[in-house]
Structure 1
Amino acid sequence: MSVPPATAPIPAGTRIGHVHLKVSDLQRALDFYCGVLGFELQQMYGKQAAFVSAGGYHHHIGLNTWESAGGQPPPPGATGLYHVAILYPTRADLGNALKRLAANNVQLDGAADHGVSEALYLHDPDMNGVELYWDKPEAEWPRNADGSIAMTTQRLDLNGLVNTRHEMESA
């Protein structure tokens, strides 16, 4: 597969700022994103949409039922969003997220150490894929001989993740 050349690369500081998810039941989605994951409700937009965030930002996730109230998830084999990835600042924060998931009986679909990051994979109540992850320090990323990133998919030690302490990350 070849990649068409760009006239200029996208700026290095570019970030993906937020995602809007179609959900079938707004309250159920809020129970998951706020009650389980810990996002804060920033604003309701009528009875069909809500905006949630971490740390008071206007919104990281928009949840809406504009076209999906009472709807069903897409069938397997359909196109669409594979998952939304939520970046945690530290390994300990990701460990705390894992504790919250366990306390709320949320099943993981998978967990992996990718060399550059550690990730938990799950689905929200509407079967939207969710990745919770933290990035390892760039100096620790595995590299190929030519300097390119050598991502992997290895088993993630969930017990070690849960037992990570904050002070270890600031050392």
Structure 2
Amino acid sequence: MSQPVLPPETRIGHTHLKVADLGRALGFWRDVLGFEVQLRHGDSAAFLSAGGYHHHIALNTWQSAGGTPPPPGHTGLFHVAILFPDRQSLAAAVHRVRTAGIALEGASDHGVSEAVYLSDPDGNGVELYRDRPQAEWPRDAAGNLVMTTERLDLRALLAEA
């Protein structure tokens, strides 16, 4: 039996996060990152997106109101990756994060992309990134993709905000 192959148009549609406090979570996802609320169910759930899509991020307290993040060393979400269309919009988002006083946990140049890492108020990992054009992706002599983890120059990135 051969391994199944997904159509190339397949995408990850949305992420649904359990949060402890909906207002606090909205303060990050809406007020700092800039997602727009498309639908809200009182203080128990909100559905947010960019550009009017039904939702890219859903937040709910259905099983987690007042809860705490899972302790280190346990399974769960590593991070949600938010793909920005260009370097300038990534820089603007990182600038908003820093202005809000949210600590950055890392910043890497992966060759194929530039990424900044942080956590939301519930301890969920968040990656803010932009892809380079595929023609610029690093490849070895055989044409295989070569991803790296190098230091990202945050100063240069933020200069574009």
- Shorter-normalised TM-score: what interval? over 0.9
Ranges in structure 2 where 5+ consecutive residues have no aligned partner: none
1:15 corresponds to: 11
Give the deviation of 1:22 after TM superposition: 0.3
Indicate which of 69, 73, 98 corresponds to 2:69: 73
Distance (whole Å) between structure 2 residues aligned to residue 81 and residue 18 of structure 1: 14
Distance (whole Å) between structure 2 residues aligned to residue 39 and residue 106 of structure 1: 17
Secondary structure at 1:36's aligned position in 2?
coil
Question: Any idea what the Cα deviations from partners look like across 1:140-163, whole Å, max 9, x if unmatched?
Answer: 000012211100000101111111
Seen in structure 2, the aligned counterparts of structure 1 residues 5 and 132 have a Cα distance that, compared at 3 Å, is: farther
Distance (whole Å) between structure 1 residues aligned to residue 24 and residue 2 of structure 2: 43
Give the deviation of 1:9 after TM superposition: 0.9
2:46 corresponds to: 50
Seen in structure 2, the aligned counterparts of structure 1 residues 5 and 145 have a Cα distance that, compared at 3 Å, is: farther
Indicate which of 24, 27, 35 corresponds to 2:23: 27
Give the deviation of 1:5 after TM superposition: 5.3
Give the deviation of 1:164 after TM superposition: 2.4
Question: Any idea what the Cα deviations from partners look like across 1:113-162, whole Å, max 9, x if unmatched?
Answer: 00000000000000000000000000000001221110000010111111
Secondary structure at 2:150's aligned position in 1?
coil
Q: Is the 8 A contact 2:115 2:128 kept in 1?
A: yes
2:109 corresponds to: 113
Give the deviation of 1:66 after TM superposition: 0.6
Distance (whole Å) between structure 1 residues aligned to residue 113 and residue 131 of structure 2: 4
Indicate which of 79, 93, 114 corresponds to 2:89: 93
| Mean CA deviation greater in 79-88 or 141-150 | 141-150
Runs of 4+ aligned residues of structure 1 deviating over 6 Å after TM superposition are none
Secondary structure at 2:30's aligned position in 1?
helix
Distance (whole Å) between structure 2 residues aligned to residue 160 and residue 80 of structure 1: 33
Residue 133 (1) aligns with residue 129 (2): yes
Secondary structure at 1:43's aligned position in 2?
strand
Ranges in structure 1 where 5+ consecutive residues have no aligned partner: 166-171
Q: Is the 8 A contact 2:23 2:43 kept in 1?
A: no
TM-score by length of 1: 0.91
Distance (whole Å) between structure 2 residues aligned to residue 48 and residue 101 of structure 1: 25
Instruction: Give the letter aligned to residue 80 of structure 2.
Output: V
Distance (whole Å) between structure 1 residues aligned to residue 24 and residue 110 of structure 2: 31
Distance (whole Å) between structure 2 residues aligned to residue 138 and residue 82 of structure 1: 25
1:169 corresponds to: none
2:152 corresponds to: 156
The number of residues matched between the two structures is 161
Quote the RMSD (CA, aligned, Å).
Answer: 1.3
